[in-house]
Chain A
Amino acid sequence: MSTSEHRARHADPTSARPVDRRSLLRYASLGGLAALTAPLVAGCGDPPATTGTGPDTITYRLSWVKNVQFAAAYIALEQGFYADEGIAGVNLVAGGPAATPVDADVATGKALVGVSAPDITGAAIGRGADLTIVAAEFQKSPFAVVSLADTPIRTPQEMYGRSIGVQAANETTWNAFLRAANLDGTRIRTVPVQFDPLPLTQGEVDGWFSFITDEPNRLRVKGFEVTTFLFADHGYPLVAQTYCVRRDTIEKQRDLVKSFLRAQIRGWRANVADPTLGARLAVEKYGRDLGLDLREQTLAAQSGNDLLVTPDTERHGLLTMTPELVDRNIATLRAAGLPVSADQLFDLSLIEEVHQEDPTLR
């Protein structure tokens, strides 16, 4: 069964990992045990990320389905920013609610770069992964709990006695947040959920773990009035959408990673200038089978841009982190029970060099 599964996945180049919604379902149809252990076994038949398509090809693992969250990559592909940097090709691999964690794919060499978050990468480092973060897109964590305005959850404390839908992919963040915010997890009923916030609108759960740019906007566009609170406003001020790579990648392919960063910066700058650009690409091309809504994706792009651009990035350049921001992240992670040092978790020398070498990127 797993052999044909591998063949099926390889036959479809757009879903080369067990991560997008369709292949999640396909995987799941193999049956419980097989599906649950699939993320482990899936590694067996897959070629390493750097072989097969040339030395300067990058497999870039996304943290979620192909929505506007990854606008810069779509724009960089379409407008040739990667090609301008001499990158032969970028293979985007989607994630999803129950996908293999990005950091596991990067740590095992199935992807060269992944977009993740400091809490998840920190947890992976704690488990022995030789990873580090080279740049940060969002200066503020977009993780939030969304609830219907009729039965609002306005603060973390209001989650007590209620049920919250949490995707398995977000377990690390959820647990770290509970710890950092000093919440008693036993008083909150966590319910496993998937991609579609239907259980929230059906009243099956009272709250929904979300990306502030994503589910709240999707619900608003469908006509629901929603209430949200951001983890970042309640003891969890982390950066997000951070790029993680293996440390030996920095040693061996430093220039390739820097080229990738330059292309990403150019992609984001284009998206900041015109938020409909990435939204259109997500809706019409990259996430076409997700049934995305252009209006909602544009809203999401705008709220994403607000997290991307701050006075600090205006001064130091996109994707950078100030030393104060690094310290705040490390302190938060420590409070969340993820003790990791700044030197372990971050290597910001590449993004700093990129901006120093080309001030026009700023």
Chain B
Amino acid sequence: MTGRRPLRPLLGGLVVLGTVVGLWQVLLSVFAVDPFLARTPADVWRYLTTAPDAAAHRERLAAGLGHTLADAALGFGCGLTSAVGVALLFVLVRPVRQALLPIAVLLRSVPLVAMTPLLTLVFGRGLLATAVIAGLVVFFPALVTITHGLRTAARHTVELCRAYGAGGWTIARAVLLPAAVPAIFASARIGVPAALIGATLAEWLATGRGLGYEMLQDATTFDYDHLWAAVAALTLVSVLVYNGFALVESMVTPRFTDG
């Protein structure tokens, strides 16, 4: 492990951002999107920095973004924690897996948007609904990845522990979870954009707060400046957090995989 390795995610993040800004600019001109709708990266920059009400624009964007990030963090936490828990159950108690997996697959195949009105009836339109909707988006892919990761644990190590009389929890802590660390990090990375999508979805269809709803509001009130700024901000945050996880991952996983 050289000291250069953690720089890679940072570099990756910069490349992604540069590509996004470039594609944004190119797509707008190639498709000649009507200027009434379209805003270039420079327009968004102006809106947030040099425009007459730039401070107010930033304040509004920050407030919405803060709300959405809180929602996303909630969904991320709930989704990832339950994915780890359920995956452990799946691996340790085989009958649970056989009983629950079909239900999970069934739930997964119903589009969340179609299910949301029902979810709001059951869970209301507050934090709980956000946790459930955003959590579900994170949960399913994480469950699959982490279950797979847990099963990569060396079988003979597990059997050895069992032979020495270790319980399920000890095996999980000492063998399974360390083996699944790369899978958990992978799920966390993938979970970042998923949690943001889940949060905006919950805001759009259930709570009516945060950038998720504001973007819809912007589209119907012709406030395209704020809409594009919000999309840019969400994308930026998504890339930053994703690469943040990649950075932590590159520092942490060697301890679990090399040894």
Q: Is the CB of A36 within 8 A of B215?
A: yes
| Chain A, 168-212, CB within 8 A of any chain B CB | 168-172, 175, 190-192, 194, 198-199, 202, 204
CB-nearest residue of chain B to A202: B121
Q: Is the CB of B204 within 8 A of A172?
A: no
Instruction: Pick from B38, B121, B200, B206: contact of A33, CB below 8 A.
Output: B200
Contacts of A29 in B (CB 8 A): 111, 113-114
Q: Is the CB of B217 within 8 A of A168?
A: yes
CB-nearest residue of chain B to A127: B222
Q: Is the CB of B200 within 8 A of A204?
A: no
Q: Is the CB of B212 within 8 A of A36?
A: yes
Contacts of A198 in B (CB 8 A): 117
CB-nearest residue of chain A to B200: A32
Q: Is the CB of B219 within 8 A of A28?
A: no
Q: How far is the CB of A20 from chain B (nearest CB, A)?
A: 15
Q: How far is the CB of A346 from chain B (nearest CB, A)?
A: 19
Known: A36-B216, A40-B227, A191-B208. A175 touches B37 (CB 8 A): no
Give the interface residue-count category, chain B: 35 or more
| Chain B, 16-66, CB within 8 A of any chain A CB | 27, 31, 33-34, 36-38
Interface SS of chain A: helix
B125 at the binding interface (Cβ < 8 Å)? yes
B196 at the binding interface (Cβ < 8 Å)? yes
Can you give 27 A-B contacts (C-beta < 8 A)?
A25-B111, A25-B113, A29-B113, A32-B197, A32-B200, A32-B201, A33-B200, A33-B231, A35-B204, A36-B212, A37-B231, A39-B219, A43-B31, A44-B27, A98-B216, A98-B220, A101-B220, A101-B222, A104-B222, A107-B36, A109-B34, A128-B36, A171-B220, A172-B220, A198-B117, A202-B121, A204-B125
Which 10 A-B residue pairings sit nearest by Cβ, starting from the closest? A28-B113, A32-B201, A108-B34, A32-B197, A127-B222, A29-B111, A32-B200, A44-B31, A192-B208, A168-B216
A137 at the binding interface (Cβ < 8 Å)? no
Extra A-B contacts (5), CB below 8 Å, given A32-B199, A36-B200, A194-B205: A25-B113, A36-B219, A104-B219, A202-B121, A204-B125
Q: Is the CB of A192 within 8 A of B113?
A: no
Contacts of B216 in A (CB 8 A): 36, 98, 168, 192
A270 at the binding interface (Cβ < 8 Å)? no
A57 at the binding interface (Cβ < 8 Å)? no
Q: Is the CB of B37 within 8 A of A43?
A: yes
Residues of A within 8 A of B (CB): 25, 28-29, 31-33, 35-37, 39-40, 43-45, 98, 100-101, 103-104, 107-109, 123-124, 126-129, 168-172, 175, 190-192, 194, 198-199, 202, 204
CB-nearest residue of chain A to B230: A36
Q: Is the CB of B200 within 8 A of A25?
A: no
Contacts of B114 in A (CB 8 A): 25, 28-29
Contacts of A101 in B (CB 8 A): 219-220, 222
Q: Mark B169-203, 1 if CB is under 8 A from A, else 0.
A: 00000000000000000000000000011111100
- Which has the most chain A C-beta neighbours within 10 Å: B37, B125, B197? B37
- Which has the most chain B C-beta neighbours within 10 Å: A43, A45, A123? A43
| Chain B, 123-164, CB within 8 A of any chain A CB | 125
Q: How far is the CA of A104 from the CA of B34 in the complex (A)?
A: 10
Q: How far is the CB of A30 from chain B (nearest CB, A)?
A: 9
Q: How far is the CB of A47 from chain B (nearest CB, A)?
A: 12
Instruction: Pick from B196, B213, B219, B231: contact of A100, CB below 8 A.
Output: B219
Contacts of B198 in A (CB 8 A): 32
Instruction: Pick from B33, B37, B197, B221: contact of A31, CB below 8 A.
Output: B197
Instruction: Pick from B111, B121, B125, B215: contact of A191, CB below 8 A.
Output: B125
